[in-house]
Amino acid sequence: MSIKENLANRMTRNRATRARRFLNFNDSVKNSDSILFLMPRVSMEFYQARTVVESFMRYFRRVVLLVTDNMRDLATYRNEIIVVSHSDETWLKLPNHDLISRLQRENFDMACDLSFSEDLFMSYLCFRSDAKVTVGFTKKNAEPFYDLQVRARVGEDIKRAYELLTNTIKMFKEK
């Protein structure tokens, strides 16, 4: 890990750890109307993650996708789309203040990081979105960023991991 990556990792984990909050997860998910899906930056994961988005269309009044510029054409939904480019990154490869402020103004009830592989940019952005509930996969160094971590085994089929994530959230939404 480079010095820059190490600095970014320590800085984001420290900030997220200090900001931990307590919430009634069951009620927060059940009563949520809007969700932000942070789509993976890896194309293989992106294709699989689209099934998660499709399965949640009926559970939320407002579904917004955050996609990177190079994946914009793959987001073929009728949802709102927020496009992220290199200009939205700091020199540490973290989300810049303007992007974070933009997401915070949206007041999402849930934010779901669909990156299966480790992606500090998306994990930190999910946390900083100020959504009432943040969800992501269990990854190295990701614990402070999510309220709910879906455990997927290393080497597990990505499709199976996304099904597990979908079933976990549906369990709370259908109560």
What is the dihedral angle through the alpha carbons of 47, 147, 121, 61, rounded to the nearest 10 degrees?
50
Domain at 3-173: CATH code: 3.40.50.2000
For the chain, domain boundaries: 3-173
> Rounded to whole angstroms, how far apart are CA atoms 64 and 125?
14
Closest listed residue to residue 113, CA positions, set 72, 142, 78, 153: 142
Q: What is the pLDDT of residues 76-111, one digit of tens each?
A: 666 788 999 999 999 999 999 999 999 999 999 999
> Rounded to whole angstroms, how far apart are CA atoms 148 and 164?
13
- Chain centroid to CA 158: 16
Across the chain, mean pLDDT equals 86
What's phi and psi for 73, nearest 5 deg? Answer: -70, -20
Pick the range with the lowest mean pLDDT from 38-52, 63-77, 111-125.
Answer: 63-77
Q: What is the pLDDT of residues 118-153, one digit of tens each?
A: 899 999 999 999 999 999 998 887 888 998 888 876
Confidence (pTM): 0.86
> Rounded to whole angstroms, how far apart are CA atoms 127 and 20?
10
